[in-house]
Structure 1
Amino acid sequence: MPLATVHLVALAKDNTISNYVKALHSSSVKPYVVSRAVRWIIKPEKLSVPELLDTKWDLLIILPASEKMPSQCLDKTSISAHWSITAGVPSSLTKDFHARNQNLLHPNPSSVPALTGSMNKPKMSNSSQGLELAPDLLEWSKSFSLGGGAMSMLNLLAFKPGKEAHDSYLRYGAAFAKSIGSKRGGTAKIVGKVVPEFGSADEDRAGWDEIALAHYPSIGHFVDMLAGEDYQEVNHKDRLPALRDTLSWMGS
């Protein structure tokens, strides 16, 4: 099973995203994903809390684990903080990843599903911590100004002990892929089980179980999903009961 390493990077004060990405692409590595940090959707509550929340991250980079981050991209003159975690990803997801990713990022307009109308009568919550639509998230989505294009969301998952919790999350994942996510254009780009003690630079050792990078055609499609009764039924039945901690971080 191929391995992939997730890197979060905070830039040094005088560096820019443009300069950092140029330096990354001038090296020999070929990232799966380079994404600008946009917003926390769910913040971790038990695992990696200071490591992740005490830093303003600028970039998400996912590399094949066989390709190390270039030394110039980890130099203290280039970055102020770095965090990583490695996971085994099914070869069905890594095969032809770059071509599939380009199709997701630049789709034929006719292939992008219409919104379902969930926002006509949205299911709301006081907080987005349960992957629900909260007023602050809704207001932010209306003012989002990066062009309305495709979004990616990094998820880290830690499951409650026992087979029941894991099976419960598998039911959620199946429902996401079959209907509640897919009919809004949602799809899993990268999913994998964390490989502990892999030895990457600044590796997280908090005990996360899985990573998942989800794609949405736009922030509107993501919000349409969160607002839907169909999504929230499965979320509350199968996703939330399975997790002892999680995080979701939106990028573009």
Structure 2
Amino acid sequence: MVLATLHLIALSPGKTIPLFLRALKSHSIRPLVTAKVVRWIIKPEKLSTHLTQQQWDLLVIVPTSTPIPATFLSEDWVHRHWTASAGVPSRIFNGFEETNRGLLHPLPGDVPELTGALERPRKASSTQGLELNDELLSWSKGFKLGQNGAVSMLNLLSFKPGKEAHESYKTYGKAFAENIGSRRGGNAKLVGRVVPDQNTPNEDKYGWDEFALAHYPSIRHFVDMLASEDYQKVNHESRLPALRDTCILCTTELDPEVGGDTPSAPGIMRETEGDKAKL
């Protein structure tokens, strides 16, 4: 197991994502993940509800052994900040950079076709149960970062007490990996069990159990999954009964090697200068 630290960062006025990432690079900090925060898919209802009161700019995940220097987490750079540490299985951590590169830059034929679920989508009134509603569907069709670029969904998970809840979620995870997620290109590429009391700056104290960063080849693949009967059957039978609370934050991963303003996944438009000015 390797300890990693998740950072949600809202930058101070005048600081931009490219500036921040270049500063990290100048100190030889190589994050596992650098992603621009897009929007909430599911908001927390019991734990860490304060997270929804802030517009976040970045998700940065780094090995705890190589922390972000304190100077770049000071008020000069960061307006708001949240962290949590988690133990990532060594088998995932050791090959993550290569695995992630392959997911973000797939070869022709690697990305599965949509299943057709969006032709007759199953919809609900809210996305809180990880279901599709009219607002999310409309937003996804106008996704400003493009219809063909990858998205990474940060999941925070808190389980109900008892072995049954964990077994139920394991059933869901198995179905996601073997069928309902993988047939849409879904991949829980980075997962870990939260390890509290690591004394990181602004560490979460609310009791999350696990995190998962799930990859989808595009926003269309994600909503195709939510719209489907096969996904919702497993979601309602195995995922929802297991959870005390959860939240999902949609992000798009960035390429720090070219200044941090270019998404790593092809098919996503580069930020304009006007976009940067708003950060």
- TM-score tier, shorter chain, comes to over 0.9
Partner in structure 1 of residue 79 of structure 2: 80
- Asked whether 1:192 is paired with 2:195, we answer no
Q: What is the CA-CA distance between 1:29 and the residue it aligns to?
A: 1.6
Aligned-residue RMSD, C-alpha: 0.8
SS at structure 2 position matched to 1:109: coil
SS at structure 2 position matched to 1:111: coil
Partner in structure 1 of residue 177 of structure 2: 177
Equivalent position amino acid for 1:22 in 2:
R
- The separation in 2 between residues aligned to 1:95 and 1:21, in whole angstroms, is 23
Unaligned runs of 5+ residues in structure 2 are 253-279
Partner in structure 1 of residue 243 of structure 2: 243
Partner in structure 2 of residue 162 of structure 1: 162
Q: What is the CA-CA distance between 1:19 and the residue it aligns to?
A: 1.1
Summarize the alignment of residues 59-138 of structure 1 with structure 2, pairs less than 5 Å apart. 59-138=58-137
- The separation in 1 between residues aligned to 2:27 and 2:139, in whole angstroms, is 36
- The separation in 2 between residues aligned to 1:241 and 1:168, in whole angstroms, is 7
Q: What is the CA-CA distance between 1:169 and the residue it aligns to?
A: 0.4
- Asked whether 1:227 is paired with 2:227, we answer yes
Find runs of 4+ consecutive structure 1 residues off by over 4 angstroms: none
SS at structure 2 position matched to 1:110: coil
| Fraction of identical pairs, as percent | 57
Equivalent position amino acid for 1:195 in 2:
V
- The separation in 2 between residues aligned to 1:110 and 1:72, in whole angstroms, is 44
- The separation in 2 between residues aligned to 1:168 and 1:26, in whole angstroms, is 45
Equivalent position amino acid for 1:228 in 2:
S
Q: What is the CA-CA distance between 1:193 and the residue it aligns to?
A: 0.7
Q: What is the CA-CA distance between 1:53 and the residue it aligns to?
A: 1.3
Deviations 1:134-156 (A, max 9, x none): 11100100000213301000000
Q: What is the CA-CA distance between 1:226 and the residue it aligns to?
A: 0.3
- The separation in 1 between residues aligned to 2:210 and 2:115, in whole angstroms, is 29
Partner in structure 2 of residue 5 of structure 1: 5
Partner in structure 2 of residue 215 of structure 1: 215
- The separation in 1 between residues aligned to 2:218 and 2:137, in whole angstroms, is 14
Q: What is the CA-CA distance between 1:13 and the residue it aligns to?
A: 1.1
TM-score, length-scaled by structure 1: 0.98
Q: What is the CA-CA distance between 1:71 and the residue it aligns to?
A: 2.4
Q: What is the CA-CA distance between 1:46 and the residue it aligns to?
A: 0.5
SS at structure 2 position matched to 1:205: coil
TM-score, length-scaled by structure 2: 0.88
Q: What is the CA-CA distance between 1:208 and the residue it aligns to?
A: 0.5
Partner in structure 1 of residue 146 of structure 2: 147
Deviations 1:110-138 (A, max 9, x none): 11000000001101001000000011100
Deviations 1:94-125 (A, max 9, x none): 11211111111111131100000000110100
SS at structure 2 position matched to 1:124: coil
Unaligned runs of 5+ residues in structure 1 are none
- The separation in 1 between residues aligned to 2:207 and 2:70, in whole angstroms, is 27
Equivalent position amino acid for 2:83 in 1:
S
- The separation in 2 between residues aligned to 1:84 and 1:223, in whole angstroms, is 28
- The separation in 2 between residues aligned to 1:196 and 1:137, in whole angstroms, is 33
- Asked whether 1:47 is paired with 2:52, we answer no
Equivalent position amino acid for 1:136 in 2:
E
